[in-house]
Structure 1
């Protein structure tokens, strides 16, 4: 069984954001603007994505 993947790209800067939002970006593996990573579609990752959705672009793979 293969798990679904999400392609997540950071579109806005993390400078000046809440510390918890910066930690969500770090948890997703995002480092800088226009950096893109693939993460598993799990409830934990979805929660982090929902918290900082205003800074991300998300696509299903």
Structure 2
């Protein structure tokens, strides 16, 4: 059985945000506005997504 994946897209700017929030975006592999990445659905990834959820659009793949 394959692992679950999440499709994460940045929909708001990272400028003017806390440094830790910017680092979460970098940790997810998101580089710019409207950039979409597919990541594994793990507890650590879920934690990063929860921290910056107001900047993101999340879809299950």
TM-score, normalised with respect to structure 1: 0.98
Separation of aligned partners in 2, 1:29 and 1:2: 21
Aligned pairs for 1:1-61 within 5 A: 1-61=1-61
* Over 6 Å off, 4+ runs: none
TM-score, normalised with respect to structure 2: 0.98
CA RMSD of aligned residues (A): 0.5
Q: How many angstroms does 1:51 deviate by? A: 0.2
Q: How many angstroms does 1:9 deviate by? A: 0.1
Structure 2 unmatched ranges of 5 or more? none
Q: Deviations over 1:10-41 (max 9, x none)?
A: 00110010000000000000011000000000
Separation of aligned partners in 2, 1:32 and 1:11: 9
Separation of aligned partners in 2, 1:13 and 1:59: 19
